[in-house]
Structure 1
Amino acid sequence: MPTLVLIDGSSYLYRAFHALPPLSNAAGEPTGALFGVVNMLRTHLKAKPDYAAFVCDASGPTFRDELYPAYKANRPPMPDELRAQIDPMLQIVQALGLPMLRESGVEADDVIGTLALQAAAQGIDVIVSTGDKDMAQLVGPRVTLSNSMTNTTLNEAGVFEKFGVHPAQIVDFLALMGDSVDNIPGVEKCGPKTAAKWLAEYQTLDNVIANAAKVGGKIGENLRSALAQLPLSRQLAQIKTDVALTQAVTDLVLRERDVDALRTLYTRYGFNAALKELEGKAGAGAGEELRGADVPAQYRKPVAADLGLDPALAAPGSYECVTSEERLQAWLQKLHAAPLIAFDTETTSLDPLQAEIVGLSVSVQRGEAAYIPLAHDFPGAPPQLARDHVLAALRPLLEDPAKPKLGQHAKYDVNVLSRYGITVRGVAYDSMLESYVWNSTATRHDMDSLAKRYLGYTPIPYESVAGKGAKQIPFSQVALEQATAYAAEDADVTLRLHEVLWARLETEPRLREVYETIEAPLIPVLARMEQRGVLIDTQALRVQSNDLARRMHEISQHAFSIAGRSFSLDSPKQLQAILFDELKLPAVVKTPTGQPSTNEEALDAIADQHELPRLILDYRGLAKLRSTYTDKLADNVNPHTGRVHTSYGQAIAATGRLSSSDPNLQNIPIRTEEGRRIRQAFVAPPGFVILAADYSQIELRIMAHLSGDAGLLSAFVGGQDVHRATAAEVFGLPPEQVDANQRRAAKAINFGLMYGMGAFGLARQLGIARNEANDYIARYFNRYPGVRTFMDNIREQAHRDGYVETVFGRRLYLDDIRARNPNLRAGAERAAINAPMQGTAADIIKRAMITVDAWLGEREDARMLMQVHDELVLEVREDQVEAVSAGLRERMCAAAELAVPLVVDIGTGANWDQAH
């Protein structure tokens, strides 16, 4: 069938401008957006479509502005750097022979929509090249979307998979969500999941409106508040498909390109690879150009090589379902002979310590894998090998430390297998962690995201074999053919990812060392800690939960007396009415729809003007503690162990810090009475105590090391109170004359500067005038000039390289370090200053955990339980406290060699709070 390609020029120009570095040619003319559009055009023209058009917005208002004068009112004016690239873009489009359309009174979307439907009606296949989600409403049997910047396409099934609604429902979907960029009002707090849920239940926006009274909770209130504006939102979001055009679809044929004009333009703007292609020279694909000499060195990050992938990496695999002893033995022989085994488990639960194994997959070479089903129990399920028999056969391989193994998030599988008495050893590689070390900020590190990024491959979604939502079935109910395709692919894709990622790590010795000496050895350490868990006093939590409920009730009654009537402290709408309509307090913070916000920032900003905002904040703080900890921790107790087992995420925080989830044990407040009471519920068993070992001021010590500032080094080497010493320097006093307020100010400066705090933030924190805060900071830098030099140098390095490093070589890429938006750029500069310290602190405690775990070995009188920020928490037998404390302090202090000593504070007690 003939094909029409409709290129959304306006969308690509903006996307390229914001996505690509601020490039320029030799004359200093901006070229970044132009560069991206040219590559996109070359990609489409290589496909030689029968018909094509480049569609742009015309200047002037459109019919939507007449419908709603506030339409797109929030959009800032076009940046001068982008405006300068429009005429060159149009010249290149013209020289390429592409028909170009710009219609006044409508948007490019409307022109594209009209042409797409006309072409489809004539039996022409249509490809709409865009990155705009609104275009999904055009998708149909003959219309697909293509995004050449992400190399993705969307057909009807793809639209549903991505958005959870059918193309015919996209307009209603967009109306419900609204659009802050285009200033289309929607339902406050209605995101894509909520909009898709409503449309799945009611099918259309009209039916959602008709059934609005049935929707409960705060979101139901928001829906009912938005009913009057929803028809307008739908009208604004709907693409017009009946624009009167002077050109027919069949008029949109490509003209012969103007080679001389293109040569002049490509030469002027420095598009070397495009110029080579024009002259008929080899090696000028779009992917190559993005990696080529046109891109400044600091932006040739490793992730750029993800373009132009080897097609063999995405080739289909050959997978076997192993259900006979003969085939099991054949695969055991392969596993014994293989230099590396990729393995993965399929289970009944995301909680590895309660999950039961349904099957296990293995792979030893790219494109070949096996799935061994062990517990599929659907009606008519074929016979399978006995689980105990298969695990016994695999045990020698899995427990052999000399047999290298590979997983994707292998810690989960290690924990699952521990329930069956198998202690997995020799996990040398983990594709999730390889990606995380390679570039922690480039992508999510789940297998599907990595496969798309590094292999150009889309794995089978879990929902396609098990269903989704209420209709999802357990994996044990999935037919073996589908289960094999899904599970064996996991092992195969993991092996392919390792092949790509390990090759990259080998090109960067310091990154490889971070992986080999920190992240990989930490896998079994964290697995043992998770398996061990921590003992919880559930009765103490129940008592505290009741106390919190009582205090929340008291706050509510006090708030009612102040307001003069009762209301829901949990309802943003009712709070808006009380605070802003009745009490006339200023609305300092607004929601995306322009309503007064009642979030924490908004309430904190007016808490000094009336008692009620502070009461609401106190109420919310208690409610969060109750819902997150005192009510939930008891539910998290594992029925098999009687303990709480958190999960430590190694590939979450960009700086290298571990995260804690299910439950999160790292966010329990330590400075409030309520937080300390929660920590009192973390207890030691009879005959043991809780031991907490905390690095003292570790990030400040790292700052002293990295900056080499003589004053800071002297304070730490001399064992001084560094905050008192800083106060003495800043205020020009002997240390013994520094008072509490001066020490507090120095502490705020010491820590604030590490996080990029300026005079405004310091003034607000200390409750002083901004000029006074400026004076404090100036005196600080005058006394500690090495710190200022370090900060200036690290910012300069970040701009030059695009990343910063920890002492041990871990990198943090800063994608916004050259952003045009000054707020984004300033945020990246603050991160550049802080990341080396926070990342180095994370590396140090990880190194300490590895050493401490090896030292403790299999002993039962001392066990590592938790890691919280810069603190390790152990369970130690009472008669071993002194010996363990000494050994622990020695190993933690030796985890890094800095220019200043590491200091560890150790405390013990019957519970975690007492250990502080």
Structure 2
Amino acid sequence: MNTTHLSPLILVDGSSYLFRAYHVPYLQALSTADGQPTGAITGVLNMIKSLKKDYPNGNIVVVFDAKGKTFRNDLYPEYKANRPPMPDDLRTQIAPLHEIIEAMGLPLLVIDGVEADDVIGTLSAQATKKGIETVISTGDKDMAQLVNQHVRLINTMTNVEMDVDGVIEKFGIKPDQIIDYLALMGDKVDNIPGVEKCGPKTAVKWLLEHNTLDNVIANADKVKGKIGENLRKALDQLPLSYELATIKLDVELSQSLEELVPSSPDIEKLTTLYKRFELRRLLAELDKNQDEESGIETDTNAVQEKVDVNYDIILTQAAFNEWLEKLKSADYFSFDTETTSIDYMKAELVGLSFAVEPGVAAYVPLAHDYEEAPAQLNREWVLTQLAPLLADKKYIKVGQNLKYDANVLSHYDIEIAGTIYDTMIESYCLNSVATRHNMDALAEKYLDYKTVHFEDIAGKGAKQLTFNQIDLEKAGHYAAEDADITLRLHQAIFPQLEALKGQLAVFTDIEMPLMPVLARMEQTGVLIDSDLLAEQSQAIGARLQELEVEAHNIAGQSFNLGSPKQLQQILFEELKIPVIKKTPKGAPSTAEEVLQELALDYPLPKVILENRGLSKLKSTYTDKLPLMVSPKTGRVHTSYNQTVAATGRLSSTDPNLQNIPIRSEEGRKIRHAFIAPEDHKIVAIDYSQIELRIMAHLSKDPGLLAAFSEGRDIHQATAAEIFSVDLDEVTSDQRRSAKAINFGLIYGMSAFGLSKQLGIARNKAQAYMDKYFERYPGVLSYMEDTRRLAAEQGYVETLFGRRLYLPEIKSKNAMRRKGAERAAINAPMQGTAADIIKKAMLAVDAWLEANQDPRIKMTMQVHDELIFEIHQDIVESATQSLVTIMNDAVELSVPLIAEAGVGDNWEQAH
């Protein structure tokens, strides 16, 4: 028989790689625009592609586990009983992956009643008998038992090969001892019983001494100590463990080795599948291969597998002027800044990079100052040449996180104006939940390209270099690549955005115009009273000491209040408080929601909660804010994030202004420290009940529309409806209950949740909700229609076209599905509220720009509130104008109401 076409045989453990790829962080971010995960698919296909490259003459056969139980479950019902169910976002990738592999023309085996290991073991045994060299591609250590003079393992993810000598080097024993080794140790993941406390060293020691498991068993009475007792206890079950760990070599297969050969790929089907699952690099490779075969040259644009790069490092004025002309003549260009710090207030400009087409980019170093750094162009001269170009509205610019670049360049009085595209915001508007929106993740998702990371050229930790200290060759390639990849990302993402009218409008009408507004707010910063915060820190510190003493007295002993382990012991072992929830590892939970429930009945959890809250306030705000005051401006400068919250809300970091607590007295005191400059006032303007007004608009419920249009107190009106009383007879408790229902329904609260919040019986809470829907049937219809529509199309939209994808909306896991349904109801309201406040900010900014009055500054945005510094001479008239602008920002079926407060600090104005 001629076996040359079967040599070598490459057996791919598809299930092993599927799970491993699923847990790779950068692959987890990958999904299609409609939320279908593709990370595991990409990982396995990359591994197969690597094998095809390394073994061009190899016969690749891909094997996966079948659904359901195997013969091992018959031997031992508890086999793999502890394994959690496969995550839904992994399960949904299996069928597409199988379909792609079959379309590639590769043999695919999925055999019922056995595992992939057994099919691979059987094929490797058959190949060995025929003298065929076999390579098993796997990450599973159990496969080491199959290694012999004709069979070796390769882990394609780590590129590690293992032959007989490799097994001995790794495990300390020969391949024919691996089953004995596995049986002795057992396997917690597969729930195979072994000898308790027998680890790799003990198993190897016994096998080197006795050679086989049978001999270890025969000499069990000679093993001393506790481990000997454990061995003797396990004697009855060791034969079973051996059988469970043994890979079968005699699975009945319907195809012979001769029949398991690759066929021609189905190009049409592969093209369809690669497009459907947005596997752009594989699609580009497919197109390229087809074009090469037909002699056609095709431009695969930003998704081609490999772009020939030409990166320049510019050190002369002549070279710079040549590039300046390239920028001016390009349809558009991308650019990026390289600096000394990620904090835009501290950052010094080290260099700039540009790209005019894929692969054509340059880096202009300006301030590299390591010992042997070459002479560089004068920074002031370069910026003087560039400033008109960046400010000229006729030139189109592209960037990634352009707000940072705008802030850095503002230090040098350079403005970025005209039509600008930010690839981070493009990705976010296209799909806010499919991936992270940093360059590395976007390059992986849209270009299937792995970028050079900053740590690769600068190092890590305390010894990490700043950019000015990095060798120009390394720095130049890194910086030019940033500009190049940014350009390619724009070419890959923006056409997809253009095809979606609503999302394109969000990008062009809201998010991109907002970027420079946020940049100006960040540059303005906020004024704080550091002395007041220091006093508060001192007071909180004293209270923390009191709480520590109180906690120790309740516990009857000293312990570390910040240690979950010690707290677990005190609460649940010493004080015998009942355990109401456990961590994933089975320990009693001390999470905040658990302590909140326990605090209703026990004093120590209440003390711990107060301690945690105050500790966080102290470390996050009262201690930290004074340290964040910029020496340049005397102010604190936050960073607003446009691409973090899935619903469109802004978030902020360093410091986080969105999460300053307002329910506690100590939290409100922090707002006292946000002060107005001399002769100015703080003005805070907040939208009143905006999400409820949006609910009225979206649901078109006559009762809600009437209540808002007539200017009634919506909570009082709801209470009157639910409790069947006149408006003037509504009690404060009834209004409180109605308020909980009004807001609870927006966030998908259940009757159980409402009962806990109001402290009433669940059936009574359900009766309240039933009465609510009876009085406001339009709300119920809206919620039901939204759930149905979300399940049908996989996403919901805000009033202005912002789309939120819901990948879990069809999950078989009821908890995940219910969570997605709650998000489906809430997201259009929360997202529309986010859009409205952003539109208000744009309208306010336009008014400020038109007036050019330096006495009015917009300094903060927090949820549905805008905060201003206004000179006391014009505070009344300016506030009236701002309230009018915010009221008129958008038109709904009910009035938008913006309410203003004025004070010397934020708390007074709020």
TM-score range, shorter chain: 0.7 to 0.9
Q: Distance in 1 between matches of 2:480 and 2:304?
A: 18
Gaps of 5+ in 2: 1-6, 23-27, 33-37, 162-169, 172-186, 193-226, 232-241, 285-299
Alignment of 1:788-807 (within 5 A): 788-807=780-799
Post-superposition Cα deviations, 1:364-416, rounded to whole Å, max 9, x if no partner, equal: 12210000011111111111111111111111111223322111000000001
Aligned residue pair count: 788
Post-superposition offset of 1:156: 6.4
* CA distances 1:741-792 after superposition (whole Å, capped 9, x unpaired): 1101110110000110010000000000000000000000000000001001
> How many Å separate the matches in 2 of 1:115 and 1:442?
40
1:501 and 2:493 matched: yes
Q: Distance in 1 between matches of 2:660 and 2:683?
A: 17
SS at match of 2:808: coil
Q: Where does residue 308 of structure 1 map in the other structure?
A: 283
Give deviations 1:711-740, integer Å, cap 9, x for gaps.
000000001000000000111111100001
The alpha-carbon deviation at position 330 of structure 1 amounts to 0.4
2:13 counterpart letter in structure 1: I
d(CA) in 2 for partners of 1:798 and 1:476? 50
Residue of structure 2 equivalent to 1:664: 656
Which residue does 1:573 correspond to in 2?
565
- Could you state the TM-score of these two structures normalised by the residue count of structure 1? 0.78
The one-letter code of the counterpart of 2:704 is: L
* Distance (Å, rounded) in 2 between the aligned partners of 1:401 and 1:144: 56
1:593–1:135 Cα change, 3 Å: farther
**1:745, 1:904 → 2: CA distance?**
25
Pairing of 1:509-528 with structure 2 (within 5 A)? 509-528=501-520
Q: How does 1:36-47 map to 2 (within 5 A)?
A: none
Query: Which residues in structure 2 correspond to 1:118-133 (within 5 Å)?
Result: 126=135, 128=137
Q: Structure 1 residues 33 and 615 mapped into 2: Cα distance closer, same or farther (>3 Å)?
A: closer
- Which of residues 351, 375, 379 in structure 1 aligns to 2:371? 379
Matched residue SS, 1:683: coil
Give the letter aligned to residue 272 of structure 2.
E
| Number of the residue aligned with 1:808 | 800
User: Which of 354, 362, 366 in structure 2 is aligned with 1:362?
Assistant: 354
CA distance in 2, matches of 1:680, 1:331: 52
Equivalent position of 1:190 in the other structure: none
Residue 273 of structure 2: aligned partner: 289
The question of whether the paired residues in 1 share the 8 Å contact of 2:423 and 2:486 is answered with yes
Among 73, 82, 87, which residue is 2:82 paired with? 73
- The question of 1:597 aligning with 2:608 is answered no
1:414 and 1:183 map into 2 onto residues whose CA distance is 57
Worse overlay, 814-823 or 584-593: 584-593
Partner SS, residue 406 of structure 1: strand
Quick one: distance in 1 between partners of 2:558 and 2:793?
58
- Could you tell me whether the CA contact under 8 Å between 1:55 and 1:102 is conserved in 2? no
**Alpha-carbon distance in structure 1 between the residues aligned to 2:378 and 2:515:** 29
- Change in Cα spacing, 1:538 to 1:35, as seen in structure 2 (3 Å) is closer
Deviation string 1:26-74 (CA, Å, 9 cap, x unpaired) is xxxxxx99999999999889976335452548725599999xx897525
> Could you tell me which amino acid in structure 2 is paired with residue 875 of structure 1?
E
Instruction: Answer yes or no: is 1:529 the counterpart of 2:521.
Output: yes
Does the 8 A contact of 2:18 with 2:44 survive in 1?
no
Give the 3 Å change call, closer, same or farther, for CA 906–240 of structure 1 in structure 2: farther
Give the SS at the match of 2:894: coil
Cα distance, 1:582–1:745 mapped onto 2, change above 3 Å: same
Residue in 1 aligned with 2:745?
Answer: 753
**Worse overlay, 728-737 or 426-435:** 426-435
Counterparts of 1:38 and 1:520, CA distance in 2: 37
Q: Is the 8 A contact 1:97 1:255 kept in 2?
A: no
Report deviation, 1:471.
Answer: 3.5
For residue 609 of structure 1, report the CA deviation from its aligned partner: 2.5
Structure 1 281/7 Cα, relative in aligned 2: closer, same or farther at 3 Å?
closer
The within-5 A match list for 1:768-807 is: 768-807=760-799
Q: Once the 2 structures are TM-superposed, how far is the Cα of residue 338 of structure 1 from its aligned partner? A: 2.1
Measure the CA separation in 2 of the matches of 1:484 and 1:520: 29
Q: Is the 8 A contact 1:323 1:384 kept in 2?
A: yes
- For residues 703-782 of structure 1, the aligned pairs below 5 Å read 703-782=695-774
How far apart are the structure 2 equivalents of 1:533 and 1:800? Answer: 45
Q: Does residue 435 in structure 1 map to residue 401 in structure 2?
A: no
Picking from 394, 397, 422, the partner of 2:414 is 422
Equivalent runs, 1:144-183 vs 2, <5 Å: 145=155, 154-155=158-159
Match of 1:908 in 2: 902
For structure 1, list consecutive stretches of 5 or more residues without a partner in the other structure.
22-31, 147-152, 158-166, 169-178, 185-227, 233-238, 260-276, 293-299
2:903 counterpart of 1:897: no
Q: Is the 8 A contact 1:5 1:49 kept in 2?
A: no
Q: Secondary structure at the match of 2:892?
A: coil
1:798 and 1:754 mapped to 2: Cα distance? 16
1:252-282 per-residue CA deviation (whole Å, 9 max, x = no partner) reads 98532699xxxxxxxxxxxxxxxxx98x865
Contact 2:702 2:778 in 1 (8 A): yes
Equivalent residue of 2:548, what SS?
helix
Asked if structure 2 preserves the Cα contact closer than 8 Å seen for 1:357 and 1:374, the reply is yes
Shift of 1:316: 3.4
Instruction: Return the letter of the residue paired with 1:283.
Output: E
Percent identity (aligned): 48
Residue 893 of structure 1: CA displacement? Answer: 1.2
* 1:99–1:254 Cα contact (<8 Å) kept: no
Cα deviations across residues 228-272 of structure 1 (Å, max 9, x unaligned)? 9xx99xxxxxx9999676489xxx98532699xxxxxxxxxxxxx
Residue 258 of structure 2 aligns with which residue?
255
Larger radius of gyration: 2
1:688 equivalenced with 2:680 (yes/no): yes
Q: Which letter maps to 2:358?
A: R
- TM value normalised by structure 2: 0.78
Q: How does 1:209-358 map to 2 (within 5 A)?
A: 246=249, 254-256=257-259, 282-285=267-270, 288-289=272-273, 291=275, 308-309=283-284, 310=300, 311-312=303-304, 314-358=306-350
Q: Aligned partners of 2:348 and 2:135: how far apart in 1?
A: 48
Structure 2 vs 1, CA of residues 911 and 34 (structure 1 numbering), >3 Å: closer, same or farther?
closer
Q: Which residue pairs with 1:872 in the alignment?
A: 866
Helix, strand or coil: the match of 2:516?
helix
**Structure 2 SS opposite 1:536:** coil
Structure 2 residue corresponding to 1:642, chosen from 631, 634, 637: 634
2:622 pairs with 1:630: yes
Partner SS for 2:304: helix
1:6 to 4, 12, 16: 12
Counterpart contact for 1:694–1:906, Cα < 8 Å: yes
Counterpart residue identity of residue 520, structure 1:
M
Moved more, 70-79 or 445-454: 70-79
**2:70 is matched by which residue type in structure 1?**
S
Which residue of structure 2 lines up, in the alignment, with residue 851 of structure 1?
Answer: 843
In the alignment, which residue of structure 2 is the partner of 1:189?
A: none
Superposed displacement of residue 554, structure 1? 0.9
Q: Note the C-alpha offset of 1:878.
A: 0.4
2:447 and 2:489 in contact (8 A); partners too: yes
What CA RMSD, in Å, does the superposition of the two structures yield over aligned residues?
A: 4.5
Give the 3-state SS of the residue equivalent to 1:344 in structure 2: strand
Shift in Å, 1:134: 11
Give, in whole Å, the separation in 2 of the partners of 1:439 and 1:779.
Answer: 38
Q: 1:223 maps to which residue? A: none
**Partners of 1:319 and 1:878 in 2: CA distance:** 55
In structure 2, the CA distance between the partners of 1:38 and 1:143, relative to structure 1 (3 Å rule), is: closer
| Cα pair distance change 1:82/1:339, threshold 3 Å | closer
Residues 877-892 of structure 1 mapped to structure 2, 5 A cutoff: 877-892=871-886
Secondary structure of the structure 2 residue equivalent to 1:914:
helix
Alignment correspondent of 1:59: 70
The 1-side partners of 2:73 and 2:247 are apart by 14
SS in 1 for 2:343: coil
